[in-house]
Chain A
Amino acid sequence: MKETDQAILSRILDEDVSEFEMQRLLKKMKSDGELRSKLHRYNLIGHALRNEIPELINQNFVTDVMTNLVDEEMSISEVNETIEQVESVNDNVRFKTAIGLAIAASVAVVSVVSFQNYVQTNNEMVLPPAVVAERVVEESDIQRVSSEDLQNFISNPKAAASFNSYIMNHAEYASSRVSMPHVRIVGYGKDELNTDN
């Protein structure tokens, strides 16, 4: 410990230290316990001369105070850390909830917009655009049935029943918005078929 530091220490008690000297000394006191102890003893000398010494001198008074401050700050920082973690979790939950709500809102908007397309405007029913299948039906995909084949198929009771059931099921559940690219509801009349057999 340089003599200069001790001299500055003495002047601290007498309000005679410049800002620069204070800064320099405080920096040294941070790591020099003896410097802090000497400040305490210099202070004690003045009190002893004035007969102002307490009954019992706690030499660890300053250390105890500073330790309590550190403990208190650690507790506060631990609490703050916990709060931050909870807030972080809450933020994640809120984020996911927000995303979910956004998706739900989008679906709701689409539904509403879609529903609004059914609303009568200008006294005319505006049908929604048909949902067209993506696959383009090629000419080769179409299997044309000859009259003879159709006649043979329909004449088979089981086949006819199955076919009728299929037609009915599709007709019942088909939406007016959706076209059935591969099915055409056909009706057949006796006069169109040769029902001799």
Chain B
Amino acid sequence: MGVNNNDKELVKRAQKGDKVAFDALVTKYHLKVVNLVMRFVKDNDDAQDVAQEAFIKAYRGLKNFRGDSAFYTWLYRIAINSAKNYLVSQSRKTPAYAVDIDDAEHIESATALKEFDTPEGNMLTSEIGETVHRAIKELPDDLKTAITLRELEGMTYDEIALVMECPIGTVRSRIFRAREAIDIHLKPLLG
């Protein structure tokens, strides 16, 4: 298994009409796409719509995706184009709120949009964030280390196995158990 190999498999299946495969891709990347779009689009609802539109465009264009680049890279470009199109249409209506198109693509963090946060949105975000951080603190050290190296450092299983000096199967198990332990706290919050 290598980086993006699973994505390639999911894309291949989705290209053959496997909706569940595309469902998995959407699940995997929808938060990234929404975060990306929100660098351009201030309104939460509009950002969700633009992000959804990006995935729909991606599905329509799947048959033309040759795999020269990683799926997410290709999806990233579609999402940016969708957001830009939105900005073009909105700039004619509310230029005061629109982020400059040329600048938006270079914004590396979402800090520029903080002034537009709504209290309700913050509450939900903070609740989820607090729940997850609280749950990870309660994890045993081996599970905490494994999940931290994976999610925050972006290491592969092989690299984590080297760092933690344990078999790769153990790494898989620790990461899975860490996620499962956090999910017990997260599931009731999301309903």
Contact = CB atoms under 8 A, between A and B. Distances in A.
Nearest to B45: A56
Main secondary structure of the interface of A (DSSP, over half): helix
B51 interface: yes
A53 B151 contact: no
B140 interface: no
Contacts of A64: 52
A45 B132 contact: yes
A179 B31 CA distance: 97
Contact of B30 (A10, A16, A61): A61
Given A7-B172, A52-B31, A46 B26 contact: no
A41 B133 CA distance: 14
B13 interface: yes
A19 interface: yes
Interface stretch (A65-73, A94-102, A120-128, A153-161): A65-73
A12 B24 contact: yes
Contacts of B19: 66, 69
Contacts of A52: 31-32, 35
Interface stretch (B4-12, B76-84, B85-93, B98-106): B4-12
Interface residues of B, number: 68
A189 interface: no
B142 interface: no
Interface string A58-83: 11011011101100100000000000
Contacts of B136: 49
Contacts of B179: 10, 42, 45
Interface in B13-33: 13, 18-24, 26-28, 30-32
A47 B13 CA distance: 26
A6 interface: yes
A6 B191 CA distance: 19
Nearest to B191: A59
Interface stretch (A22-30, A85-93, A137-145): A22-30
B29 to A, nearest CB: 9
Interface string B144-171: 0001101110001100000000000000
A180 interface: no
B72 to A, nearest CB: 11
20 contacts: A10-B175, A26-B21, A29-B23, A40-B27, A45-B132, A47-B35, A48-B132, A48-B133, A51-B129, A53-B128, A53-B129, A54-B47, A54-B125, A55-B117, A55-B121, A55-B122, A55-B125, A56-B120, A58-B48, A62-B26
Interface of B: 1-7, 9-10, 13, 18-24, 26-28, 30-32, 34-35, 38, 44-45, 47-48, 51-52, 55-56, 59, 113, 117-118, 120-122, 124-125, 128-129, 131-133, 136, 147-148, 150-152, 156-157, 172-173, 175-176, 179-180, 182-183, 186-187, 190-191
Give 4 closest A-B pairs by Cβ, nearest first: A55-B121, A48-B132, A10-B176, A56-B44
Given A18-B1, A45-B186, A57-B125, 16 more contacts: A7-B172, A10-B172, A14-B156, A16-B6, A16-B172, A22-B6, A26-B24, A36-B27, A44-B128, A44-B190, A45-B179, A48-B133, A52-B35, A61-B26, A61-B51, A65-B26
